Structure 1
Amino acid sequence: MTVILRRVARPLLATIFVTGGINALRQAEGHAKVAEPFLNNAFDKLGDVVPAQVPRDPVTLVRLDAAVKIGAGLALASGKAPRLAAGLLLGSLVPTTLSTHSFWAIKDPGERQQQQVQFFKNASLAGGLLLAVADTHGKPSVGWRARRAAKDVGHSAEKLSRKGQKRANKLAKRAQKALPH
């Protein structure tokens, strides 16, 4: 049942990102104009932390974001590295949401309500992506497997230590018997 659920849910979740990425590529300048105030503010606050290799041009950033949405969306939809793909989409969704749906800064009540709906729609998508990031297909997580391996190594070391101690005791008894009295 869960295999079928994943095969249906992942493409459904990915659809909005792939179509949004394609739309952003087709209308990169328009999307960049909307994102520019947010990007300028972010670079003003974090510019010294962001590596110089990161482009500052809004159109380039919109195109990069679109490529991430399309690539990671297709990967999620097809089940190729779905946890990584969901993480990349989540990382793309946060700045997109903050730059395009900042309802708290809008004065017009109608526009504010519309952007608030879009903001919470994206928050809901983020919840779905978080579930996809955490989905291990019913297998134990990497953390659980690492703790289990460490525990197994500890048990093996303990057994080796006991065997070594027994062997040392046997050798000591032989040595005592071999010594003249």
Structure 2
Amino acid sequence: MTPLQLVARPLLGTFFVSSGVESLSEPEPRAEMAGPFLAKLREKAPGLPDDDVLLVRVNAAVQVAAGALLTVGRLPRLASLALAASLVPTTLAGHPFWEHEDAGQRAAQRTQLAKNGAVLGGLAAVISDAGHQARIHALRARARHRRPCPVGSRKSSLPTKNSLPTKKALKNARQSLGQKGASLSAK
């Protein structure tokens, strides 16, 4: 993990943990705000529970659990995927700037939507983990471009396990050297 990831991932994770804890402690205001969005969503997904407070609590629990995992660096890709999946409906339900008549309210909601979009981009970076992929590609490229040792080089002339002489071969070599040495000294 790079030093930047050591800082960025906990920052992203704590954002979701604090937001999730707040939603778990007071889900009613968020459920009321998400009500119109959830009603439209139920038309598309009829199996969705009718209890808005329950859905807000489930979303908050996902954010707390996945945010904690991301903060401590456990399963960062999976945690980021879960957070991204929970952030999209949260953003659409919580910041529908297009429904506000007041220019100030509209601008504030648009800013919040853009902020959540930026956070989603950070989560996408963790999911793709470009640093991890770059390391893998660098290692593969290095292995592809590694030159084999030429014959006769220092590395290729080192003995291998199979090329080492056996005890019998060493004994025979000593005997033949001993006989040659004896014949040389006799002359």
Scaled by the length of structure 2, what TM-score is found?
A: 0.68
The answer as to 2:12 corresponding to 1:18 is no
Of 82, 86, 97, 1:103 maps to 97
1:30 Cα offset (Å): 1.2
Distance 1:32 1:138 in 2: 39
1:26 CA drift (Å): 0.9
Per-residue displacement from partner, 1:68-116 (whole Å, max 9, x unpaired)?
0000000011110000000000000000000010101111101000000
- 5 Å-filtered alignment, 1:10-159, equals 10-47=9-46, 52=47, 54-135=48-129, 137-139=131-133
* Higher Cα radius of gyration: 2
Aligned-pair identity (%): 42
AA of the residue aligned to 1:34: M
- Point out where structure 1 has 5 or more consecutive residues left out of the alignment: 145-181
Q: Report the secondary structure of 2:79's partner residue.
A: helix
Q: 1:141 to 1:96 in 2, by over 3 A?
A: farther
Aligned length: 137
Cα RMSD of the aligned pairs, angstroms, is: 2.0
Deviations 1:99-142 (A, max 9, x none): 01010111110100000000000000000000000016525799
TM-score (norm 1): 0.71
Gaps of 5+ in 2: 138-187
